[in-house]
Amino acid sequence: MVGNGENPPSLEEIRRRTRAELGRDPCRWQTRSTQDVLRGDKDVIAIAPTGAGKTLTFWMPLLFRPNGIQLVVTPLNLLGTQNECDLGVLGMRAVAVRAETATPRVFRDIGEGKYRVVITNPEELMKEGGGFEQLWKKDEFTSRLISVIFDEAHCVSLWQSFRPSYKHLGRLRHLLPHTPFYLASATLPDEIRHEVMSTLQIQASQCLVTQLSNERPNVYLEVRKIRHSQSAFDDLDFLIPPTTERASGDPIPKFLVFFDDIKECVRAADHLRARLHPDEREKLHWFHAQMSEEFRQEDLAGFKGSELYGLMCTDSFGMGVDIRNISVVVQWRLTCDLNTLWQRFGRATRDPDLEAVAILFVEAKYFDEEREKKTRSQKRKAEQQLERQKKKARTKSASQPSSSRESGHPQAVDVPLQGSQDSGSGGEVGARPLDCSVPQGSSQEQPAELTLEEAKVLSPELDTLVNAATRPVKCYRAPVMAYYGNDRIRKSHLAPRVRINGTLPLIESDGHLCRPSGCSRCVARLSPVCCILCSPDAPCFQRLAPRELEVDSNPANRASRLKKNMQLSDAGRDLRTALDNFRRQRMVDKHGESLLDTLGASMMMPNSVLERLVECAEAKKIASASNLEREVGKKWSKAHELGPAVVDIVLR
């Protein structure tokens, strides 16, 4: 890249202006990244933990280029809208360009320099015949660009499989040969960084990297085995105490639960809503890409305030969203890679003075003890099969004439012992590596979303994390820190500079303190709690302990026992059709035709609830709204809201 190479302001001047004009006191790594961008002769990469202030470094260069423009490429429209609002408060004009706002008028205003910050997504940026194609041809626009910023830069590599536009971002190098690229992320291990640099055509010799440890010491880690049916979501009950233990409106620690399946996200929300008092069930929402932009903005605002207790979400709510008081973050099932997991856990409290708990729920099949149990079972079955075949061969041989027996020998049949190991291996059956240190970026990353069939073999880093309790490491944080190479980064007040040698970074320090006492972004904070293995008695874990399934002691409140394999009458089949039409219409009224087509009517009334209602009606168990709540209220959060209307249909 050929750049200006001009003399940038000093670090102290950058710090002073940022404090005066933006009201923020930047850390040394932030001022240095800003200085590198303003110099303009090299690309810049900043790796820092979630909540460390990477976004602030996007705007700091604007203070020193009165006519300059920053172009930000973001993976999520939600981030663009959030940045647009935040910059408005700072007095900087910004525009978020997405499909709905990419009008000729907006691009004309951008070309005329009416906006200091332009935020867009890869699809809009690389769209053939789109507005940006015309902007690249206007020197009055391109000459004012300070840098092209790739927010959440790991997505350039990890999201290419389902966001093809990321593959083509390297064309910008030819379209904007004199504009430096600025990459920011909390999760850029060596392998992923190399892939990102290759895609964006960044040369190692022309790149400056500042890297901090991405550890979040005030986020405490826990791994739990899913104990109950995955489709029932009973393992999540600990998030909401039963109504017998809390009054309506009593505070609940703010939480996020991440899913990689939209339907699971909706069903889980429905399950947890049923645990709330009827008048507060709208305080828990789902949040995913197929909701309208308006709905998502409303939910984000409600979650930032006190209107919502929690969100069941996908990656549509995630990276870069700055909410300071999220107390609990949960990942449901092991359907993502470690980079995605650490990004999601990074949504926990952005306030360094608060604490949060991050819990990974894992399917039983991924634990060593379960795998060893399965291996032993397979070995036992194989041995039994072998013995049966040997016995059969002996019986057959004994029934043959002697001459036949003398002329040949019965042959034993070899049956492979699946999952077994050579007896001379010196290890237990199904044993796994015991070393907790994992080479940085050691495995080929999989897409963030995996199906149940695809997510069978764990990467080494995830395998070590999941099984840390039964391996010598005995710590859930250690495998994560090893994977990201945080042990190579000095945990001090120094902001390390990375010098890239080929594709491997060499950590160096410039020998200067950020300030005498450090700051909240770079000071090495010591926490009394690490994870549930290191601090099992910590109050934060005790408060969130798993709950046993509750059984109502009053028989009158329990759902009725119905006959199995009940044969429906014509009236029952008609009721099933009527209830299906009812839930479909309610779905359209509340969420529109598009969401009905995508998610189906079960989002409004699960199929299991519909079938239960039909069977109860056939058995004459529903004569009132209270009857309906008794029969399905614990599994259907909308029983209180929609119950009277459903009862009217049942009693017709």
Q: Which pTM value belongs to this model?
A: 0.75
Q: Identify which of 150, 140, 152 has the alpha carbon closest to the alpha carbon of residue 173.
A: 150
The number of CA neighbours under 13 Å toward the Cβ of 441 is 16
User: Looking at residue 531, what DSSP letter applies?
Assistant: B
3-state secondary structure 59-121: HHHHHHCCCCEEEEECCCHHHHHHHHHHHHHCCCCEEEECCCCCCHHHHHHHHCCCCCEEEEC
| CATH number of the domain encompassing residue 109 | 3.40.50.300
* 18 and 122 fall within a common domain: yes
C-alpha 294/C-alpha 300 separation (Å) is 10
Helix axes 607-618, 639-650, angle to 10 degrees: 40
- The first and second tokens of residue 165, run together, are 């536009």
Predicted pLDDT of residue 553: 54
**How many domains does the chain divide into?**
3
The answer to whether residue 279 is domain-embedded is: yes
* 525 and 640 fall within a common domain: no
Compute the CA torsion angle 212, 218, 223, 229 (nearest 10 deg): -120
* 277 and 379 fall within a common domain: yes
User: Looking at residue 124, what DSSP letter applies?
Assistant: H
C-alpha 399/C-alpha 407 separation (Å) is 14
Q: Identify which of 246, 271, 247 has the alpha carbon closest to the alpha carbon of residue 257.
A: 271
- Consecutive H or E run containing 303: helix 293-304
Low-confidence ranges of the chain (pLDDT < 50): 2, 403-455, 491-495, 501-511
- The first and second tokens of residue 171, run together, are 């064309």
Which among 211, 233, 263 is the end of a domain? 211
Which among 189, 211, 233 is the end of a domain? 211
Q: Identify which of 602, 651, 603 has the alpha carbon closest to the alpha carbon of residue 627.
A: 651
Residue written as token pair 């978020």: 96
CB atoms within 10 A of CB 598: 15
361 and 226 in contact (C-beta within 8 Å)?
yes
Predicted pLDDT of residue 425: 35
Q: Is 551 exposed, middle or buried (0-12, 13-18, 19+ CB in 10 A)?
A: exposed
Q: Is 23 exposed, middle or buried (0-12, 13-18, 19+ CB in 10 A)?
A: exposed
The answer to whether residue 296 is domain-embedded is: yes
- Consecutive H or E run containing 286: strand 284-287
- In which domain, by residue range, is 345 found? 215-241+251-384+457-498+516-548
Predicted pLDDT of residue 488: 73
Predicted pLDDT of residue 429: 31
Residue type, 452: L
* 528 and 647 fall within a common domain: no
* 530 and 580 fall within a common domain: no
* 88 and 185 fall within a common domain: yes
Predicted pLDDT of residue 315: 86
